[in-house]
């Protein structure tokens, strides 16, 4: 019985490892574009890259439901193109040249919002 339980556990771990949330890669860099740092500056909603390395940011809001992405050098600001945001919005931040291991799609909004992604080569 113990062997069967261990086998089941190994199978479940192997099955889960194919999930996009656990894909191999590098850690995300959301600390470079902290949620609390998003604001309206010069009339546009966005955020500044506060890290000393370049990042790739992806953004989507309920208003447009169309992904927007940009590479930001240190100190660069990402403008969403929106004057204000109503409803939900989601973003991912990865090292430059990488994207979220979870497809940046509205159907994965909950996982993206929870930050349970790694970053994989673009």
Residue 53 lies in a domain: yes
Distances from the Cα of 44 to the Cα of 1, 83, 88, angstroms:
61, 5, 17
Does residue 108 sit within a domain?
Answer: yes
Residue 14 within any structural domain of the chain = no
In a domain, 44, yes or no: yes
Q: Quote the pTM value.
A: 0.78
Structural domain containing residue 73 = 24-121
- Residue of 7, 11, 56 lying closest to 30 (CA atoms): 56
Asked if residue 7 belongs to a domain, the reply is no
Cβ contact 77:47 at 8 Å: yes
**What is the structure's pLDDT at 19?**
43
Decide if 13 is inside a domain: no
Model pLDDT for residues 12-66, shown as the tens digit of each residue: 333 344 444 445 799 999 999 987 889 999 999 999 999 999 999 999 999 888 9
How many domains is the chain partitioned into structurally?
1
Identify whether 6 is part of a domain.
no
Does residue 11 belong to any structural domain of this protein?
no
For every residue of 45-98, which 3-state class applies, written as one string?
Answer: EEEECCCCCCEEEEEEECCCCCCEEEEECCCCEEECCCCCCCCCEEEEEEECCE
Per-residue confidence (pLDDT) for residue 13, from 0 to 100: 34
3-state secondary structure of 12: helix
| CATH label of the domain that carries residue 32 | 2.60.40
């Amino acid at each position: 019985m113990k062997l069967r339980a261990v086998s089941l556990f190994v199978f479940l771990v192997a099955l889960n490892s194919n999930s996009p949330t656990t894909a191999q890669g590098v850690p995300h860099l959301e600390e470079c574009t902290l949620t609390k740092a998003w604001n309206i500056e010069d009339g546009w909603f966005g955020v500044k890259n506060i890290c000393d390395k370049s990042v790739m940011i992806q953004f989507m809001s309920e208003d447009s439901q169309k992904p927007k992405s940009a590479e930001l050098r240190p100190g660069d600001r990402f403008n969403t193109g929106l004057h204000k945001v109503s409803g939900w919005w989601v973003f991912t931040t990865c090292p430059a040249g990488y994207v979220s291991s979870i497809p940046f799609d509205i159907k994965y909004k909950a996982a993206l919002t929870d930050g349970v992604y790694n970053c994989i080569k673009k």
